[in-house]
């Protein structure tokens, strides 16, 4: 079902349309990766509409044409479409006047940290979440969790050392901070981040930004509006 907010938000057509889920279980709310895209769009002051799909529609041809791996988010902007949240955030940042450093050398550092967030830190965070939330075998979960925690702790220690006393990853707040902060938020089911105070302060600093608060509210509002459909199905 195509969400009516596309027409409502644009009066008939949006120049930027983000495809996202209409609802997810409570443990995932506020953590689905369209949050990154919504945050970047809010930082860039770019209005957008949401196309909300359910978990059946994600495997249908219409959505697979947008996102061939049956995931979210996807985005339509500037007459084309994209998927992969990191690529989308970077493209939004390129369209913004303040989400990427102007200096070429510093911009390359921003690109480096973008990949670090997604390729180095996120995989171990996601692996721990997989063990905690998706393993039904309690014996296997007990066996695998210590190793998954240790891998996260290694990356957090390295990240804290690299961050040092800086407020953000590269100079002022920019695109890689959006990605790194959303990765670190996914540890909210544990107390791991409390052992790395510089990272805890970094995350608090990033998520205190008004653009993040607006983006989070927009995602959660969609879930709340559609929750009744899933309550009836249950």
Question: What's the CATH code of the domain at 184?
Answer: 1.20.1050.10
How do the pLDDT tens digits run along the chain, 234 residues long? 233 355 444 334 569 999 999 999 999 999 999 999 999 999 999 999 999 999 999 999 999 999 999 999 999 999 999 999 999 999 999 999 999 999 999 999 999 999 999 999 999 999 999 999 999 899 999 999 999 999 999 999 999 999 999 999 999 999 999 999 999 999 999 999 999 999 999 999 999 999 999 999 999 999 999 999 887 554
State whether 154 and 58 are in the same domain: no
Q: Are residues 92 and 164 in the same domain?
A: no
On whether the CB atoms of residues 28 and 215 are closer than 8 A, the answer is no
Whether 57 and 81 map to the same domain: the answer is yes
Let me know whether 108 and 178 are in one domain.
Answer: yes
Same domain, 118 and 167: yes
Predicted pLDDT of residue 3: 35
**Structural domain containing residue 219:** 5-97+211-233
Angle at the Cα of 182 from the Cα atoms of 34 and 46, rounded to 5 degrees: 50
Residues 39 and 71 occupy one common structural domain: yes
Look at residue 6 in the predicted model and tell me its pLDDT: 52
- The CATH number linked to 9 is 3.40.30.10
| Residue 131 and residue 92 in one domain | no
Written as six digits, the tokens of 175 are: 């695109």
* Whether residue 132 is found in the same domain as residue 156: yes
Domain count, the chain: 2
151 and 228 share one domain: no
For residue 2, the number of C-alpha atoms closer than 13 Å in the C-beta half-sphere is 7
Quick one: pLDDT at residue 47?
96
What stretches of 117-209 show up as alpha helix (H) in DSSP?
Answer: 122-134, 138-163, 175-185, 197-207
Residue 154 confidence (pLDDT):
98
Q: What is the pLDDT of residue 8?
A: 41
Same domain, 184 and 198: yes
Rounded to 5 degrees, φ, ψ at 18 are -105, 125
Of the candidates 199, 187, 188, 183, the one whose C-alpha atom is nearest the C-alpha of residue 148 is 187
* Helices 197-207, 138-163: crossing angle, 10 deg rounding: 80
Same domain as 219, residue 204? no
- Is residue 23 located within the same domain as residue 82? yes
């Amino acid at each position: 079902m195509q969400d009516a907010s596309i027409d409502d938000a644009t009066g008939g057509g949006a120049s930027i349309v983000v495809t996202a889920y209409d609802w997810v279980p409570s443990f995932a709310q506020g953590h689905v990766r369209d949050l990154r895209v919504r945050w970047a769009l809010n930082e860039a002051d770019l209005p957008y509409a949401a196309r909300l799909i359910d978990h059946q529609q994600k495997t249908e041809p219409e959505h697979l044409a947008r996102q061939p791996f049956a995931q979210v988010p996807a985005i339509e902007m500037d007459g084309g479409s994209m998927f992969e949240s990191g690529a989308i955030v970077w493209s939004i940042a390129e369209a913004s006047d303040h989400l990427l450093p102007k200096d070429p050398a510093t911009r390359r550092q921003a690109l480096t940290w973008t990949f670090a967030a997604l390729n180095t830190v996120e995989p171990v965070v996601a692996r721990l979440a997989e063990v905690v939330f998706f393993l039904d075998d309690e014996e296997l979960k007990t066996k695998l969790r210590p190793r998954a925690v240790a891998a996260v702790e290694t990356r957090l220690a390295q990240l804290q050392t690299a961050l040092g006393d800086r407020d953000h990853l590269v100079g002022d707040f920019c695109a890689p901070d959006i990605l790194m902060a959303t990765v670190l938020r996914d540890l909210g089911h544990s107390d791991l981040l409390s052992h790395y105070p510089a990272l805890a302060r970094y995350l608090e600093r990033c998520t205190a930004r008004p653009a993040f608060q607006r983006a989070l509210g927009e995602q959660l509002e969609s879930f709340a509006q559609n929750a009744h459909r899933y309550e009836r199905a249950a």
